Structure 1
Amino acid sequence: MTKRASALDRVLRQAGGPEILDVLAKRLPGADLTTLLLEVMRRRAGALAPADVLRRYGQDRFAAPSPVPFRELRRAEDAALSALPPDFEPVTLSPVAPLGTCSVLATVDQNKVVSTVRNGEVAADPTNALALEAALRRRTAGDGAGGRAEPVRLAAVQRVVRAQHVEGAARYAHFTLFALVTAGRDTGGLAFERQHAAEHLAVLADAVRACGAGEPELRVTVLDERFDAVADGLGGTPDPDRQSGRGYYTGLCFKVYARGVEVGDGGFTGWTAGLLGDRKERLLISALGLDRLAMPE
């Protein structure tokens, strides 16, 4: 039995039995569950004293300020945005997203994000939210003449929170990502993939340079042999032994390194194809971790 399952079993015994989990997860309508959880949180907050809040602030890794100096991080944000071509539209994303934005679109356990009692979750990855926005725009474009011909290029700088516990240098509970997504339609011959993979990598490389992190290193992993030709056009170092991202990305994925440290990641996904119910839809996502780029050598 895993540690999580053991803890859940103990809680359910204290709460009156495992059937309560089915009631809360399946039988209560979403609005009723929200009403219940809001009252639970109201009562728990009402029992706290100022000293309790201060103590939690000093102990909670999610609430602690970033160790990255504000001015250095702001400089990195501005530098990354300066590398953004006019074709990409910057979007100011909400700090929350609908429940399931990460776990439903991608192969991410819901426990790795901070879920809220209002049927939402704290932003954990801007590419997921940008994919939702891109899908909406693609669907709206498809309602008019000409279908969904024009690709949608979006970008964002967002502070995100990840719930899984990580340790080591430059690993934080919350951090800032510079993210890109391009959503479009398959035009045959992997033309979409060739054009936009090269475009994303050029933007990411320019952003790394603009942040003063030197010349970036690109490592490319082909997940489908049909993408060998796409990889050949990108340059970089082949990385066939990469294990992370398999099942998350399709076709091809890549990592970006600066000063010997991983600072970026990206690849193709089937998210918009699933959101729009159209196998011809294509999506490329990528992101840079600005906290790592902002830290001095």
Structure 2
Amino acid sequence: MNLQLLENMKKNISTHIISRLDLQSFVNVLSAELSGSELNTILLDVFSKRLQQETASSLLNKYARNKLVKPFETDVIKFKEDELSCYKLLASKGFEPVELSPVAQLGTSSVIATVDQKKVLTALRNTEVQADPTNAIALHYAWLKKKRALGKTTCNYSNISRVLRTQAVSNPHFTPHFSVLCLVSCGMDTGSFNFEREELLKQISMSSRICKEVFGIQEMYFEIIPAKGFDSLSSMIADIPAISVVEPDNSNNYYYGFRIKMKIVLNDVVYEIGDGGLLDWTQQLLANKKERMMTMGIGFQVLHQLTR
């Protein structure tokens, strides 16, 4: 089924329920007139009452039907060994490992980024289930910066998280929760695109080393996609080995400046394994146009499955 059609159907179902039960005024009260703590108190009470109707048998039946809660089947020891190898390599090269909470601040994915909140598992107590560690690290950096806990040097962070996303997909092999590795560089504009060039080289170097030294992949390349009129950096990076500058993506509304795609080759098959670029999230959070942020997200779970 067409994914857009499926999303529209879900929206229509919600509209139909609200209309059928004449709940529009009630929905308006919940969404606009209650404070966050008041809404949380009411919803906690609602779910508590609903759960009083559940039995052990009904709980098991619902578990069987819920694709969000099943474990990922893998050799856990080998999986965690790969995680540890990545963290050791990253830490040795200055990318500070960050152990994130399994939940993020509510709105982390949709307020500073362009993700639809309906594709994120919204929770109570003003939180959402972790859907993208780069967003959470942006908040972490901005919070530290605002309370003056950081100096003027660029901060390099790394994280491996199991994230969960709820959007419908057509691929039967898709699992709603999966493990991703992210690199995040945050700092200040130093002029002449120095931040962009230096952090791009760091992240490409680390991504390459992870693939080679942890997963034994030898053939890989990167594509830089200029975005939103940021062509002036192209000549500065086009001469870097294993990087090609491709046609600008004018439809992109997620990254600004440029987007990075990382591709690996295994048995003559090309896999897109990484995606990143420049983001304006720290500029938004700190209201400072001089802030710079670059990310690279790598499909850690996919790499493990392809090579183990």
TM-score (norm 1): 0.91
Corresponding residue for 1:40?
A: 46
Q: 1:6 to 1:38 in 2, by over 3 A?
A: same
Partner of 1:275: helix, strand, or coil? helix
Corresponding residue for 2:36?
A: 30
Say whether 1:293 aligns with 2:297: no
Corresponding residue for 1:19?
A: 25
> In structure 2, how many angstroms separate the alpha carbons of the residues matched to 1:23 and 1:136?
31
Corresponding residue for 1:228?
A: 234
> In structure 1, how many angstroms separate the alpha carbons of the residues matched to 2:50 and 2:306?
42
Return the offset for 1:166: 2.0
More moved, 161-170 vs 124-133: 161-170
**Any stretches of 5+ residues in structure 2 without a counterpart?**
none
Q: 1:217 to 1:171 in 2, by over 3 A?
A: farther
> In structure 2, how many angstroms separate the alpha carbons of the residues matched to 1:83 and 1:274?
31
Answer yes or no: is the 8 Å Cα contact 2:238–2:245 preserved in 1.
no
> In structure 2, how many angstroms separate the alpha carbons of the residues matched to 1:294 and 1:110?
29
> In structure 2, how many angstroms separate the alpha carbons of the residues matched to 1:34 and 1:10?
25
Corresponding residue for 1:91?
A: 98
Q: 1:80 to 1:64 in 2, by over 3 A?
A: same
What one-letter code is carried by the residue in structure 2 that aligns with 1:171?
F
What one-letter code is carried by the residue in structure 1 that aligns with 2:82?
A
Answer yes or no: is the 8 Å Cα contact 1:112–1:163 preserved in 2.
yes
Answer yes or no: is the 8 Å Cα contact 1:176–1:290 preserved in 2.
yes
Say whether 1:279 aligns with 2:289: yes
Say whether 1:254 aligns with 2:264: no
The structure 1 segments of at least 4 consecutive aligned residues displaced by more than 3 Å after TM superposition are: 241-244
What one-letter code is carried by the residue in structure 2 that aligns with 1:211?
F
* Sequence identity percentage: 29
Note the 1:115-130 alignment, pairs <5 A: 115-130=122-137
More moved, 61-70 vs 188-197: 61-70
Corresponding residue for 1:196?
A: 199
Corresponding residue for 2:278?
A: 268
**Any stretches of 5+ residues in structure 1 without a counterpart?**
none
Say whether 1:216 aligns with 2:220: yes
Return the offset for 1:211: 1.8
> In structure 2, how many angstroms separate the alpha carbons of the residues matched to 1:52 and 1:154?
43
TM-score (norm 2): 0.88
> In structure 1, how many angstroms separate the alpha carbons of the residues matched to 2:236 and 2:110?
28
Partner of 1:295: helix, strand, or coil? helix
Say whether 1:4 aligns with 2:7: no
Return the offset for 1:273: 0.6
Answer yes or no: is the 8 Å Cα contact 2:226–2:249 preserved in 1.
no
More moved, 12-21 vs 266-275: 12-21
